[in-house]
Chains A and B, each alone.
Chain A
Amino acid sequence: MIGWFNSHLVSMVDGVAYGLLLFTLAVGLSLVFGMMDVLNLAHGTLYLVGAYVAYALSDGSWLGLLIALVVGLVVGLLGGGLLAAAVAPLQGRGHLDQAALTLGISLIAAEVLVMIFGGEVLPTAPPVALSASVSVLGHTYPVYRLVFIGVATALAALVYLAFERSSIGALVRATVADRDMVRAMGVDTRKVLFGVFGFGAALAAIGGVLGAPIIAPGPGIDERVLVLSLVVVVIGGLGSVRGALIGALLIGQVQTLGVALVPSYAPFLLFGAMLLVLALRPQGLFAPARA
């Protein structure tokens, strides 16, 4: 047992890194849907934009990474704001129109990105100071991934505390549960919704900046990231921070252990896990109570 554990330790740590990356993506998608009732199929595009920002600005120095993070944050907030504004006129017209609109926007954005960055996958190097490998329990492991795990854990903790423990979080959760009641208490729920959209988008873009060395930017990556995030959201339950975290970590493990143990069936495992969860709990593992 210990031998098995030891030989798959690298995969499992990889799975944690991958899972935390998925969390930064999926949580925004989940909250935007849970709150605004908006299905944002352009969410993967925000990751792609962040990853391209990292490719263009992160030159291996700490300053470069910092600049990339700031630019990613701004671009994410802008992108989220634009998406929220684009979707706003469709209130009450159902999910199909939202899906079509955001899918259209993602197609346009993908084409513009190809025009700027070309059609190749662009491997993005982590900062030079973090590009080494260290020895962990007898395995060599890239430092960047360990640091990423640290940063993403801090990010996840921050998101969790903000939503579950702060008064702003309470307001947001209340809006998820019963928008009309919150509005009746004199809160401009539109502002709350825009805030969450911007926040989720910024988180996805920052995920892109930090995740570029793990999932490199290129055509089609937006779609892949979107599908992974959707799987996480479906498993975790719509509109739940905790669900997104558990779902993301689960998918991270399924993905990396699956590739290590049964390489030819890895893609089926991912969706198999999703279908299994749906079969047992159609609303997801941690769906919040809805009014």
Chain B
Amino acid sequence: MSAVTQGAAAPAPDRSHGPSRRPLPIRQSLVVGLVVLVLLMVPWVFDAFTVSTFTRALVFAVLAMAVNLLTGIAGMPTLGQAAYFGVGAYTGALVSIHWSELGVIQLLLATLAGVVAALLTGPLAIRGRGVAFLMITLAIGEIGYSAAGRLDWVTGGTDGLSGILPVVLLPGGEGLVNEGLIYYYVLVVAALAYVGVGVLLRSPFGLTLRGLRDNEARLRAVGYRTNTYALGVYVCAGGLAALAGSLWTSSQRFVAPGDMGFDIAALALLAVIVGGVGSMWGACLGAAVVVFTRDYFGQIISGHAPLLLGILFVLAVYLLPKGIAGGRAQWRSLFPRSRAETTPEEAT
């Protein structure tokens, strides 16, 4: 399903579909500004529990971006990102307990650990494509999960690691204990990650990844070492997932094997599907939908969160085949933006 075939199917000059079309700068900056404003307002408007739910949603957004990088951009569906999320979470926790409370150091070392873990496991994973890749990553996720439960001397076994100190921004500074401040910390890191992924996707490397998804054989035929690119994106996604894991440690101040289980990987994949496979802002929005469904609405209707999530899965697949991001494009094609194109009834 390339943009070319879509264009051929719709001969009308409907420019809202094309991925190359950029929104008007003014409109775009307005939307971005509004989103930033709303995100900055969160701790001033909501109670502590809601703020912490927003924090978890942001952490999940970073994890969902990692999953989307593999699944949506490079076409390699993964159920194993929770393993690298866990590597980052435990690394962050261990650094915090044994060495430094500085956020930057925790983030850097956790990301590095995720990159190393992905470098070690990636060569095996990228031997498969499609469902084979999905299953290998599932196995990697399961190994990570069992390892976290078994390696008691590092991970505290099934009891997990507690005693994680509040994260500190500058040497000698105060630890972040306030929900709102933790939220801002996670928000800033998540925003930087979002920008970083955006830069990556606009680079030649990012464009090649889309080629990997759309036609790997042709890419190989013109001389690209596709396996190198597959490993490259795998390592990037591993590092990004580990970054999310470190944020998780800082915000929850507790890590247990359950934080890297199959359900976390499944939730991240759900976030990507709900948001729209291939769209980064869609993945972030999907992460928010998933986390609020699980932690907020699931709480309200007496803890039937899995039921709600299951229904969300089914509805998303049937009703939003292209996710929220794709739904927006469909919405636009139904109601063109330009006033000149709208009929009088719609204009009123």
Which residues does A use to contact B, with CB under 8 Å? 33, 39, 89-90, 93, 95-97, 99-101, 103-112, 223, 227, 230-231, 233-234, 238, 264-265, 267-268, 271-272, 274-275, 278-279, 282-283
Please name 29 pairs of A and B residues whose Cβ atoms are closer than 8 Å in the assembled complex, sorted by A. Answer: A33-B131, A39-B131, A93-B321, A96-B277, A99-B77, A100-B273, A100-B313, A101-B314, A101-B317, A103-B266, A104-B309, A104-B311, A104-B312, A108-B310, A109-B310, A110-B306, A111-B304, A227-B262, A268-B146, A268-B147, A271-B139, A271-B140, A271-B142, A271-B143, A271-B146, A274-B139, A278-B132, A279-B127, A282-B132
What is the interface size of chain B, counting residues whose CB is below 8 A from a CB of the partner?
38
The 8 A-B residue pairs with the shortest CB-CB distance, nearest first, are A104-B313, A107-B310, A108-B310, A267-B146, A111-B307, A104-B314, A101-B317, A271-B143
- Whole-angstrom distance from the CB of B247 to the nearest CB of chain A? 25
Q: Given the complex of chains A and B, what is the CA–CA distance between A45 and B142 in angstroms?
A: 18
A168 vs B198: C-alpha distance in the bound complex, in angstroms?
Answer: 53
Given contact pairs A234-B132, A278-B128, A97 touches B150 in the complex (Cβ within 8 A): no
Q: Using a CB–CB distance below 8 Å, which chain B residues touch chain A? A: 71, 77, 124, 127-128, 130-132, 134-136, 138-140, 142-143, 146-147, 150, 262, 266, 269-270, 273, 277, 304, 306-307, 309-314, 316-318, 321
A68 smallest CB distance to B (angstroms): 26
Would you call B150 and A264 a contact (CB within 8 A)? yes
Compute how far the CA of A239 lies from the CA of B310 in the bound complex, rounded to whole angstroms: 28
- When distances are taken between beta carbons in the complex, the residues of chain B under 8 Å from A274 are 139
Closest to A228 in B: B142
A contact residues around B309 at 8 Å (CB)? 104, 107
Distance in angstroms between the alpha carbons of A116 and B181 in the assembled complex: 43
User: A136: shortest Cβ distance to chain B, in Å?
Assistant: 32
B138 touches A107 (CB 8 A): no
Q: Would A95 and B130 count as touching, CB distance under 8 A?
A: yes
Q: Which residues of A contact B317 (CB under 8 A)?
A: 90, 97, 100-101, 104
Q: Measured between alpha carbons, how far is A112 from B312 in the docked complex, in Å?
A: 15
Closest to B316 in A: A100
Q: Shortest CB–CB separation between residue A257 and chain B, in angstroms?
A: 17
Q: Bound state CA distance, A233 and B139, in angstroms?
A: 12
CB nearest to A114 among chain B residues: B306
Q: How far is the CA of A112 from the CA of B308 in the complex (A)?
A: 12
Q: How far is the CB of A247 from chain B (nearest CB, A)?
A: 12
Would you give the shortest CB distance from A259 to chain B, in whole angstroms? 13
Residues of chain A within 8 A (CB-CB) of B77 are: 95-96, 99
Q: A96-B277, A97-B321, A274-B139 are in contact. Are A103 and B131 (CB under 8 A)?
A: no
Question: A95-B130, A282-B128 given as contacts; is B270 within 8 A of A111 (CB)?
Answer: no
Is there contact, CB below 8 Å, between B127 and A278?
Answer: yes
Query: Given known contacts A108-B307, A111-B306, A267-B146, is B134 in contact with A234 (CB within 8 Å)?
Result: no
Distance in Å from the Cβ of A25 to the closest Cβ of chain B? 15
